[in-house]
Amino acid sequence: MRYWLDEIIFVVAVIVGAMLFALGLRRALKTSGAKGVLGKLLLAVNMSLIAFGTLWAQEPQPPATEETQPDADKDEVAAREKLIAEVTQLKGWKELRGLWRRLLKQVSKAKSMSGEKLPTDLVDQAQKLRDELQIGPKGQPPKQEPQAQDAPLLTAEQAFREMKGLALEIYWHLTRLTEMSTCYKRAGFEGQPQPINEQMDLLEKELADGKISQAVYTRVKETMQAYASRHTRVAAHLNTRNSVLIFKLIEEICGTAQVDISQIAPELIKKVVELSVNLGDADSSVRDEAEKALVAIGDPAIPSLRNLVKNTADEEVRMRAERILAEIE
């Protein structure tokens, strides 16, 4: 209501001021004596009206964040920050953070390590973590059912376990980069991954066009199938709010280091893609939740959002993606 009142008063003041200005200027320039004084008086009234209208319209308003961020959203952020603080106080957090940072360094070296073995103590750490999480021989944790969208935030212990599982996923990714580097990269797992079926179609076409040999085709296909058979994906079972929690814990664990998520755990990018797709969901509440989540995730969401802006035919999706990018960048 106050917004419209501001606008009306400002417009009226400007219109009246303009009329008084024209009349006063005419009298001041063409006449002298009493009429000239009246013209100057009208000019003064005009300036007062314009100043009044401008000051009224510019009266300090509550910060935009207070209007755009409901109490429920602020409560969610506060609860998430409190939970992250609890996770960092758990026994074993510093050890896990050290393992994470070591894995990140190894991934950055992986391009020059093709065919080389990983340090024995790093392998031992990963095996210890695998035993703790009861990971099977194929490197897969027990399958988990997807969370309902209204499911609560994870407990500190549950979030800690998720971060351990993600560390193992990075380790799995690292072993593929070093042990079967060429095929793994050729299969599209370095950088933002494409869906497996699209990669398989492209592989079939390249074989048919004679661009790759049968031997290369067989090895790359086996790599793709091995990856596709991993039924558990990083954060795949988590709902939107807990997916954001995991990304925030990644920020916490990496500290000031600039980390390209697509390079350390390509599958994690699929969660970002999933949220980006939700920007076009038929349910407005799902669209709003996805937008808030992508803003909270920040930099890791940028490539997917840029791709949306460039390629989507949905005007609302493009608008939301542009709005999120403007807030992140």
d(CA 12, CA 7): 9
pLDDT of 282 higher than 60? yes
Q: What is the pLDDT of residue 290?
A: 92
Mean pLDDT lowest among 99-103, 146-150, 187-191: 187-191
Tokens read off for 233 = 């994906």
CB-CB neighbours of 68 under 10 Å:
8
Query: Which whole number is the average pLDDT over 144-149?
Result: 86
CB-CB neighbours of 117 under 10 Å:
11
By C-alpha distance, which of 204, 207, 103, 222 is closest to 163? Answer: 103
By C-alpha distance, which of 229, 303, 306, 301 is closest to 271? Answer: 301
3-state DSSP of 125-190: HHHHHHHHCCCCCCCCCCCCCCCCCCCCCCCHHHHHHHHHHHHHHHHHHHHHHHHCHHHHHHCCCC
Could you tell me the pLDDT band of residue 291, with boundaries at 50, 70 and 90? very high
Please name the residue ranges forming H helices in 229-311.
240-254, 261-264, 266-277, 284-297, 302-311
Q: What is the pLDDT of residue 236?
A: 76
pTM over 0.75? The answer is no
Alpha carbon dihedral 291, 292, 293, 298, in 10-degree steps, equals 90
CATH class of the domain defined by 265-329: mainly alpha
Tokens read off for 243 = 């997916």
Burial class (CB in 10 A: 0-12, 13-18, 19+), 2: exposed
189-211 pLDDT per residue, tens: 444 445 566 777 877 888 899 88
Q: What is the pLDDT of residue 2?
A: 44
Q: 75-81 — which CB contacts under 8 Å span 24+ positions?
A: 76/241, 77/296, 79/153, 80/153, 80/241, 80/244, 80/245, 80/248
In which residue are the tokens 């970002």 written?
272
Q: What is the pLDDT of residue 66?
A: 44
Q: What is the pLDDT of residue 294?
A: 92
d(CA 49, CA 19): 11
Q: What is the pLDDT of residue 299?
A: 85
151-185 pLDDT per residue, tens: 999 999 999 998 998 888 888 778 777 766 555 65
243-275 pLDDT per residue, tens: 999 989 988 888 755 666 666 666 677 788 888
By C-alpha distance, which of 198, 189, 263 is closest to 226? Answer: 189
Domain ranges across the chain: 2-61, 92-256, 265-329
**Residue 199 CB contacts under 8 Å (≥ 6 apart), including other chains:** 187, 188, 193, 224
Mean pLDDT lowest among 37-41, 238-242, 289-293: 37-41
Mean pLDDT lowest among 42-51, 93-102, 319-328: 42-51
7-65 pLDDT per residue, tens: 666 666 667 666 666 665 565 556 555 555 555 555 555 555 555 555 555 544 444 44
d(CA 95, CA 265): 20
